[in-house]
Chain A
């Protein structure tokens, strides 16, 4: 197993390296790097000082190493629009996105997992039919469609919940969160639900498909043939196997949540990283885009690695087994 994880780690590092090359080429080699990194309003002297400082007069290879060095030391350039280091900008906004993603995830799992299981184990019940019908629906509606509908119903129509902004932020255990107050929950309700709706649909589908496949497997029948009561068959044999792919998909989807939040954050004016990205794209604040890209790649490679490790822990077949006995 150690060998397996180590090779995965190496692959992750390789991906990071390749991505840094890709980002570098698109920013530095294509187009005029000066325009990308320096605000358009800068004076001629500023431009030349910048060129010297960034080493843009040096050969491309050297520039790449400067870029790499900057990345490794956490320097992602300076934002045009806000004139602060891009990395600090991202770091400041990240907790909001993380909070949103976590709440949405918890909602999704609490609702989606049991529904998917029921749909698989009692396919003829009305719950199952509803759950599967919902999963088709929730899967098809784009996020912004859900968001607008929720706003129409709960904010405009019923006036129960606010439709934009984040609740008051307090520090809990050193982590800035808005969930400590009732108002905070009001603000997060609609955006989190928007994200969760799609995830619940996805989860129902995956759990249903995976469980249905396992239920039909020979070893489940064999377990029943041994006289194991149905309850235990379901927990120890069916779930133990069917949840493995679900867990890994969940981990990957969490990464997706962090990214998908872009649309939701924009509509609900949630001050997170996704909204920052969109603003930066519209404002052509390229250093922030570059920094965001590399940060995202890092997050994804890490999540992928964790997923691989999880899989190895949960499924003994994946661990490179010793000699066959």
Chain B
């Protein structure tokens, strides 16, 4: 057995917070072999990011690191002084952070940030360093590398900035690269490209890769061996294949089971369409200033879509595809520039006043961000009861009763008097669902309702949603960027790209026999 490249024994990290001392990492021990890709899987609060930072001693000043031993290629690195540690960072071990928009110094040119690293770790002249930097940019497929050395970070998109960070990480040819959720902040299609690039370049350089992520299928795709962390401890270690097929630890098992499976069959639907869009378009115009012409963007371009009572239509696409806009268009939060929107058979394209009120009466929406979709100053019971109050449903005494019944239905009966700040993300989404369904709408738009939640929680919330829909039989538009996730819920799937629907059909057909190239790419990007 070869000597490991990195050996970590008994690593612990404690954070000093307002609530007291929090043990984020506890007794973590593992090893990485030279050139291997090791996956580190964990949900929020698992301590996975803290582990990565701790290896390089990059934690916040409020955190304390304790370790029995951290060794790199036989040399102890947890006892190095600041200068020696700085020499090691970047040259022997490099790290890539999650959010590319905050990783780069906003007032320094890209080239200068790369040259700085080269000159800190070596004695290249400025010109030679610039040359090397340009080559690195070319390697990560940044167009026009020489002239882009002079660009500032804000001139690049998120995906391109992450490529720059990858280029920086590989610049001094480190032996180990730690990638902390390197693509979580990126769009699904971009994710695939960036990850493939990262793993390819790492392999070409012969470096080892510690791939940290909450996404189990993603890690399984790229890593041979894996570690599962839960609440600061390692609960499972071994070959990824074994972890996926025969998880030993109960948490790991829950995690594996949370990977969305396909549902069977379709819901029985009533024949009449509840919502219909016919060749509808929405155009956004940016304002015209003295120095810039007005820009127009066709967010939704001639889209036709029908949703029937009781069925769930999934609307899938990358960000910028127009799916959120279409969802809001169907709710008349936007006006259509052309085409028609029909609700329960009657046109509502230009509805105002009472007609619009009628639409609002029978439709609802569930949002993506559980932290922003509830009024922080209202108690849970008031949030759920408010739609009843606002529309004057029945006697006021009965409303509180109805609200409580709804809360019980989503499993939050004891939480009625709490404020949103006292709930977890999954609980808040359940409140949002309760609020949306308390008046029994006939049409609900769910805009990425579980994307911001941990995998295990996602499953809970989706199961709840599916049950409620089965009971109440409302029509549902389920918007998501993840093609595999919608397989657990949808009857039909519509794929959207650049404002147009490029493919539509029954769930199994779209997932198993995609007709359009874009659908195929989306399918590949979801690792499911």
CB neighbours (8 Å) of A244 from chain B are: 107
Is there an interface contact between B99 and A218, defined as CB atoms closer than 8 Å?
yes
Q: Is A27's beta carbon under 8 Å from chain B?
A: no
How far does the alpha carbon of A54 sit from the alpha carbon of B89 in the complex, in Å? Answer: 76
Structural contact, A222 and B97, CB atoms closer than 8 A:
yes
Residues of B within 8 A of A216 (CB): 60
Q: Are A325 and B105 in contact (CB under 8 A)?
A: no
Q: Nearest Cβ in chain B — how far from A11, in angstroms?
A: 11
Q: Report yes or no: B94 in contact with A241, Cβ–Cβ below 8 A.
A: no
Contact B89 A219 (CB under 8 A): no
B509 contacts partner chain A, Cβ-Cβ < 8 Å: no
Q: A241 and B102: CB pair below 8 A?
A: no
Question: B9 at the A/B interface (Cβ < 8 Å)?
Answer: no
- Cβ contact of B104, chosen from A219, A315, A321, cutoff 8 A: A219
Pair B94/A321 contact, Cβ less than 8 Å: no
Number of A-B contacts (CB under 8 A): 100
For residue A227, CB closer than 8 A to chain B, the reply is yes
In-complex Cβ contact of B87 among A7, A222, A227, A322 (8 A): A227
Do residues B104 and A317 form an inter-chain contact, with CB atoms below 8 A? no
Interface residues of chain A: helix, strand, loop or mixed (majority): helix
Beyond A218-B99, A322-B155, whether A227 also contacts B89 by CB under 8 A is: yes
Q: Are B90 and A7 in contact (CB under 8 A)?
A: no
Q: Is the pair A228, B116 in contact by a Cβ cutoff of 8 Å?
A: yes
Q: Residue-by-residue, is A309-321 near B (CB-CB < 8 Å gives 1, otherwise 0)?
A: 0000011110011
* Number of B interface residues in the complex (CB < 8 A): 42
B294 in contact (CB, < 8 A): no
Stretch from A18-26, A182-190, A229-237, A276-284 contacting the other chain: A229-237
Residues of A within 8 A of B80 (CB): none
Of the candidates A226, A232, A320, the one whose C-beta lies within 8 Å of that of B89 is A226
**Which residues on the B side are within 8 Å of A230 (C-beta)?**
82, 86
| Smallest CB gap from A237: residue in B | B105
B117 touches A226 (CB 8 A): yes
Chain A residues in 8 Å Cβ range of B194: none
Contacting residues, chain B, for A222 (C-beta < 8 A): 97, 103-104, 165
Q: Closest approach, in angstroms, between the C-beta of A209 and any C-beta of chain B? A: 17
A324 part of interface (Cβ distance < 8 Å): yes
* Residues of chain A in range 212-263 having any CB-CB distance to chain B below 8 Å: 216-219, 221-230, 232, 236-237, 240-241, 244
Tell me, rounded to whole Å, the shortest Cβ–Cβ distance linking A143 to chain B. Answer: 35
Selected from A227, A237, A241, A317, the residue in CB contact (under 8 A) with B86 is A227
What range describes how many residues of A lie at the interface? 20 to 34
Which chain A residues border B264 with CB–CB below 8 Å?
Answer: none
Q: Of B146-154, B390-398, B421-429, B444-452, which binds chain A?
A: B146-154
Whether the pair A321, B116 counts as a contact (CB closer than 8 A) is no
Q: Which of A227, A240, A321, A325 contacts B107 (CB 8 A)?
A: A240
B250 at the interface (CB under 8 A from A): no
Whether A317 lies near B157 (C-beta < 8 A) is: no
Q: Please give the distance in Å from B474's CB to the nearest CB on chain A.
A: 41
A1 to B91, CA, bound (A): 38
If A3-B291, A316-B152, A324-B155 touch, whether A227 touches B108 (CB-CB below 8 Å) is: no
Minimum distance in angstroms from A10 CB to a CB of chain B: 8
Query: Which listed residue, A7, A217, A229, touches B83 by the CB 8 Å rule?
Result: A229
Residues in chain B near residue A236, CB distance under 8 A: 105, 108, 116
Across the interface, which residues of B come within 8 angstroms of A232, CB to CB? 116, 120
* CA gap between A320 and B291 in the complex, in Å: 11
B258 within 8 A of partner (CB): no
Interface positions of B from 108 to 162, Cβ below 8 Å from A: 108, 113, 116-117, 120-121, 143-144, 148, 151-152, 154-157, 160
Q: Which residues of B contact A218 (CB under 8 A)?
A: 97, 99, 102-103
B50-97: which residues lie under 8 A (CB-CB) from chain A? Answer: 56, 58, 60, 82-83, 86-91, 94-95, 97
In-complex Cβ contact of A325 among B58, B60, B120, B156 (8 A): B156
Select one of A237, A321, A325 contacting B160, CB under 8 A. Answer: A325
**Of the candidates B107, B120, B144, B290, which one forms a contact with A241 in the assembled complex, judged by CB atoms under 8 Å apart?**
B107
In the bound assembly, the distance between CA atoms of A288 and B144 in angstroms comes to 61
Residues of chain B within 8 A (CB-CB) of A240 are 105, 107-108
Task: Please name all residues of chain B whose beta carbon is closer than 8 Å to the beta carbon of A225 when the two chains form the complex.
Answer: 56, 58, 89-90, 94-95, 97
**Is B107 within 8 A of A229, CB to CB?**
no
Complex CA–CA separation, A232 to B104 (angstroms): 15
Check B157–A324 contact: CB distance below 8 A.
yes
A229–B94 Cα distance when bound, in Å, is: 15
B168 at the interface (CB under 8 A from A): yes
A236 to chain B, nearest CB (A): 7
Q: How far is the CA of A227 from the CA of B93 in the complex (A)?
A: 9
Contact present for B86 and A325 (CB under 8 Å): no
Q: Write the chain B residue with the least CB distance to A238.
A: B105
Q: Which B residues lie within 8 Å of A315 (CB)?
A: 106-107
Q: In the complex, A227→B144 CA distance in Å?
A: 27
A229 to B97, CA, bound (A): 19
Q: Which residues of A contact B113 (CB under 8 A)?
A: 223
In the complex, which residue of chain A has the Cβ closest to the Cβ of B57? Answer: A224
Contacts known (A229-B120, A240-B108, A317-B154); A219 close to B103, Cβ less than 8 A: yes
Are A227 and B105 in contact, CB atoms less than 8 angstroms apart? Answer: no
Given contacts A226-B168, A230-B82, contact A321 B102 (CB under 8 A): no
Residue pair A227, B90 in contact (C-beta under 8 Å):
yes
Task: State how many angstroms separate the Cβ of B3 from the closest Cβ of chain A.
Answer: 24
Against B, the Cβ 8 Å flags (1 = close, 0 = not) of A175-205 are: 0000000000000000000000000000000
B172 to chain A, nearest CB (A): 8
Contact partner of A219 (CB less than 8 A), chosen from B56, B105, B154, B160, is B105
* Contact across chains for A226 and B116 when beta carbons are under 8 A apart: yes
Please give me the residue from chain B that is nearest to A228 by CB atom: B120
Which residues of B have CB within 8 Å of A320?
A: 291
In the complex, which residues of chain B have a beta carbon less than 8 angstroms from the beta carbon of A3? 290-291
Distance in angstroms from A180 CB to nearest chain B CB is: 40
Chain B nearest Cβ from A224, distance in angstroms: 6
Q: A227-B89, A229-B83 are in contact. Are A325 and B143 (CB under 8 A)?
A: yes
Among B89, B105, B168: residue with most chain A CB under 10 A: B105
> How far in angstroms is the closest Cβ of chain B from A90?
35
Bound CA span A8–B2, Å? 66
Interchain CB contact under 8 A, A321 and B106: no
Residues of B within 8 A of A7 (CB): 290-291
In the complex, which residue of chain B has the Cβ closest to the Cβ of A124?
A: B61
Asked if A314 contacts B56 (CB within 8 A), the reply is: no
- Tell me the nearest residue of chain B to A7, going by C-beta: B290
Q: Are B148 and A325 in contact, with the CB atoms below 8 A? A: yes
Q: Which residue of B lies closest to A10 (CB)?
A: B290
Cβ-defined partner of A321 (8 Å) among B88, B97, B154: B154
Residues of B within 8 A of A227 (CB): 86-91, 117, 120-121, 172
A-B contacts, 25 listed (Cβ < 8 Å): A219-B103, A219-B105, A219-B106, A222-B103, A224-B58, A225-B95, A225-B97, A226-B89, A226-B117, A226-B120, A227-B86, A227-B90, A227-B172, A228-B116, A229-B83, A229-B120, A230-B86, A244-B107, A314-B107, A315-B107, A316-B107, A317-B106, A320-B291, A324-B155, A324-B157
- Known pairs A226-B90, A316-B106, A322-B155. 12 more at Cβ < 8 A? A216-B60, A219-B106, A225-B58, A225-B89, A225-B95, A227-B120, A228-B90, A229-B120, A240-B107, A244-B107, A314-B107, A324-B157
Interchain residue pairs A-B with the least CB separation, the first 3: A227-B90, A218-B102, A227-B89
Please list the residues of chain A having a beta carbon within 8 angstroms of any beta carbon in chain B.
3, 7, 216-219, 221-230, 232, 236-237, 240-241, 244, 314-317, 320-322, 324-325
